[in-house]
Amino acid sequence: MLEKNVGGLDRVARIGVGAILAVVGFSMLLAESLSILYGGVVLLVALVLLATAATQRCLLNKLLGADTTKLQSER
């Protein structure tokens, strides 16, 4: 199982950006003039950010060797 590797400011940023993108993506889906595809992609990115913040696990961080949970405990 993937270990926790999302914490601190990284987690807060994911929640903030994810929430904003969720609103934007949902608005794009509801707007008739904008493409449903773009709204869906934005909403998908938002959901990934929110899910990785909630679970504190990110495959991309793992692949890059990044662990932002340790940044908080070093202070």
CA dist., res. 27 & res. 49, Å (int):
18
Prediction pTM value: 0.87
Q: Pick the residue with more confidence: 64 or 74?
A: 64
pLDDT at 73 exceeding the cut of 60? no
CA dist., res. 21 & res. 52, Å (int):
14
**What integer pLDDT is reported at residue 71 of this predicted model?**
73
Which residues, other chains included, contact 20 with Cβ-Cβ below 8 Å and sequence gap of 6+?
46
pLDDT at 61 exceeding the cut of 60? yes
Asked if residues 11 and 70 have their Cβ atoms less than 8 Å apart, the reply is no
- Write the pLDDT tens digit of every residue in 8-55: 999 999 999 999 999 999 999 998 767 888 999 999 999 999 999 999
**What integer pLDDT is reported at residue 46 of this predicted model?**
98
How many CA within 13 A on the CB side of residue 58?
Answer: 23
